[in-house]
Amino acid sequence: MKTYCLNRSVAVFILLIVSTACSSNSTPTSPTAASATVSAVAVTGSTVSKSVVQMTAMATLTDGTTRDVTSSATWTTSNAAIAAVSTSGRVTILGNGEVDVRASYQNVSGSTRLAATQKFALGGVVAEGAPSVRPLANVRVAIITGPDNGAVLLTDATGAFRFETVTAGVISMEATRDGYLLWRVTNLTIDRDRQIDLELFPVPPTDATGASATARCGDGTWSWAPTRGEACTANAGVIYGVCPGPLCDGRLR
């Protein structure tokens, strides 16, 4: 019986071949998945001021994630005369009516509808008319016609009032306080911020016979004289004639 000896270098060579063969039979790496694409764009808005709305565009991707694309989207409105939109999604209200605001991102669009209304501030100071000329607190100032019909507030200690958001349009308003004649204005156009200072006049007193005073005198007293030449001759002259009455001059009605 013959004995065979295996050379050590040959043994090493065989082991290397086996090792290489095992490596070549390992499981291959999976290919990288395709990038997610945009499937939808949602548009929402939040009020910044009475004439500005900031829109937000959120993109939903095919992998289920969402991304804020407000600064990357292309913004448009359906009516630039009613609302204008900037590249950052900032909408400025220019008129009244409904308008669609649209955001487009990677060929996918989304929109929302705004009921656009222009809003302006309306304020002023209420004072007692001459000869007193003093601010009047707690005067009830009310909008009585127009989109904001029913809005009411009271003047402060300085006689001031201010409606912060009045809808653009044509309105009527009135001011009342016990002991004073009604003040009213009609067909007032609200197309910008407006300041209206107004005067209230005391209710003319009556004499013992029930006759109403005919004129207010410069010293704050009243006259019942039937003619201007006779009225307030010793009381600093006539400030205004009472209407209705013989001295009515159109100032006080």
Q: For the segment 105-147, what is each residue's pLDDT rounded down to a tens digit?
A: 999 999 999 999 899 999 999 999 999 999 999 999 999 999 9
How far from the centroid of its chain's Cα atoms is residue 221's Cα? 47
Q: Is the peptide bond before 131 cis (omega within 30 degrees of 0)?
A: yes
DSSP state of 253: -
> In which band, very low, low, confident or very high, does the pLDDT at 35 lie, cut at 50, 70 and 90?
confident
Indicate if the pLDDT at residue 24 is higher than 60: no
Q: Which of 96, 99, 71 is nearest to 86 (CA)?
A: 71
Return the pLDDT at 252: 52
Burial 161-173 (b: 16+ CB within 10 A, else e): bebeebbbbebeb
Sign of CA dihedral 80, 86, 91, 95: negative
> Are 127 and 135 in contact, with CB atoms under 8 Å apart?
yes
Average pLDDT over residues 226-239: 95
- Name the segment(s) of the chain with CATH classification 2.60.40.10: 119-200
For domain 38-116, give the CATH number: 2.60.40.1080
Indicate if the pLDDT at residue 194 is higher than 90: yes
> Are 51 and 70 in contact, with CB atoms under 8 Å apart?
no
> In which band, very low, low, confident or very high, does the pLDDT at 68 lie, cut at 50, 70 and 90?
very high
> In which band, very low, low, confident or very high, does the pLDDT at 3 lie, cut at 50, 70 and 90?
very low
- What size, in residues, is the chain? 253
Average pLDDT over residues 192-209: 96
> Are 239 and 218 in contact, with CB atoms under 8 Å apart?
yes
Return the pLDDT at 34: 58
Number of Cβ atoms within 10 Å of the Cβ of 43: 21
119-200: what fold? Immunoglobulin-like (2.60.40)
- Name the segment(s) of the chain with CATH classification 2.60.40.1080: 38-116
Place of tokens 């086996």: 18
